[in-house]
Structure 1
Amino acid sequence: MEDHGPPPTHCKEVDMKIQCTLLRKGGTHVEIGRKKYHFAPDANGLHVSDVEDEDHIARFLGIPEAYRVVVEKAAVKEPAPAPTPDEEQEQEPADNGLEELDKIALTKRYIELYNEPPSGSLTKPRLIEAIREKAARQ
Structure 2
Amino acid sequence: MTDDAYLFLLDDASAPLGVAPAAVGDLPSLETPAVRAWLTAQGSTVTSPHLRLLPPEERAAVPDGAERLPLRLSDEELNLVRHRTAPESHARVEEELLTYRDCADGRDGLIGRALAAGVPPHRIVELTGVDPATVTAAAGR
Q: TM-score, normalised by structure 1?
A: 0.28
Larger Rg: 2
Higher RCO (CA-CA < 8 Å; seq separation 6+): 2
Query: When you count helix as a share of all residues, which structure comes out higher?
Result: 2
Query: When you count strand as a share of all residues, which structure comes out higher?
Result: 1
Q: TM-score, normalised by structure 2?
A: 0.27
